[in-house]
Amino acid sequence: MSEELSDQGSLLEARQIGRQTTAGQWLIRNVSLAVHPGDRIAIVGPTGSGKTLFLRSLAILDDIQEGELRFHGNPLKDKELPEFRSQVVYLQQRPVLIEGTVEDNLKLALGFQVNQHKPHDIKALISLLNTFDRPESFLQRQSSALSGGEGQIVALLRALILSPQILLLDEPTSGLDPGTTKQFEAIILKWLSTSDKIPAFVWITHDHSQAERVARQIMTFPAGTILPVQKSH
Ligand SMILES: Nc1ncnc2c1ncn2[C@@H]1O[C@H](COP(=O)(O)OP(=O)(O)OP(=O)(O)O)[C@@H](O)[C@H]1O
């Protein structure tokens, strides 16, 4: 995460991001990253070093107290946020599914106005389901009856049918068994190779062998970005 960023052609760029507690203590500071088309970035680093705080900042899910985010080279305006959300999708550790079937969940994102121009490509979806080794009838399963791993894969498929430009993955396989983890990775790699865009991902993982398998760039979250918490007077 160098401070010298080339913004040439970056999709998403974080410059000198800082996050503070409400009491004013810095949790992360001066963290920068540029994501370009085709990037496959893994972020590794110790527990509590601020990886999630940083990724959530990239996803514009939390406010930042310092620094700047740029999307396609420009600061993001409020009115551009729905488009940003359809292009930059954040997947958290635990899937959040609605009641109903797998298909209801997959169609959910497409219901948002900003996504209505995106075709619901059922063929592509079924091909991804095959990578997951599930028949088409899996679409009719109730979300409440899915295992944790199946739920996480459904959350991934729901993200992918939006055809995002960037996936932000926060330890998405930490609760999955090795077989489901491999399927999850295979779906992402298939998506990368079949997307009509040149998508990118930023993937937080504690598993160095996973980082080696999926990423082209591995970044260690720098301990130096975390300042010691000051005692208040
Ligand atoms: N809102 C908050 N207020 C105060 N401290 C917070 C807040 N959010 C996170 N923290 C603290 O900031 C630090 C970084 O948290 P974060 O979840 O980003 O770490 P992480 O590197 O993702 O850890 P892990 O690898 O365990 O998921 C932690 O010590 C956490 O307790």
Please list the rounded mean pLDDT of every run of 10 residues in the chain (233 residues).
Answer: 58 92 90 93 90 95 94 89 91 89 81 54 66 80 92 90 91 92 92 86 95 92 49 40
- pLDDT attached to residue 231: 38
Alpha-carbon gap, residue 149 to 6, rounded angstroms: 38
Terminal-residue alpha carbon distance, the chain: 33
- pLDDT attached to residue 194: 82
Task: Specify the residue with its C-alpha closest to ligand 1, atom 10.
Answer: 27
- Token representation of residue 182: 């491999």
pTM: 0.86
Distances (CA, A) of 98 to 145, 198, 227: 12, 30, 39
Task: Specify the residue with its C-alpha closest to ligand 1, atom 29.
Answer: 48
Alpha-carbon gap, residue 1 to 110, rounded angstroms: 34
Task: Quick: pLDDT tens for 192-211.
Answer: 888 778 999 999 999 999 99
- pLDDT attached to residue 166: 96
CATH superfamily to which 12-225 belongs: P-loop containing nucleotide triphosphate hydrolases (3.40.50.300)
Which of 51, 90, 204, 220 to probe ligand 1 with, by most ligand atoms within 8 A of CB?
51
Pocket-forming residues, ligand 1, beta carbon under 6 Å: 21, 27, 45, 47-53
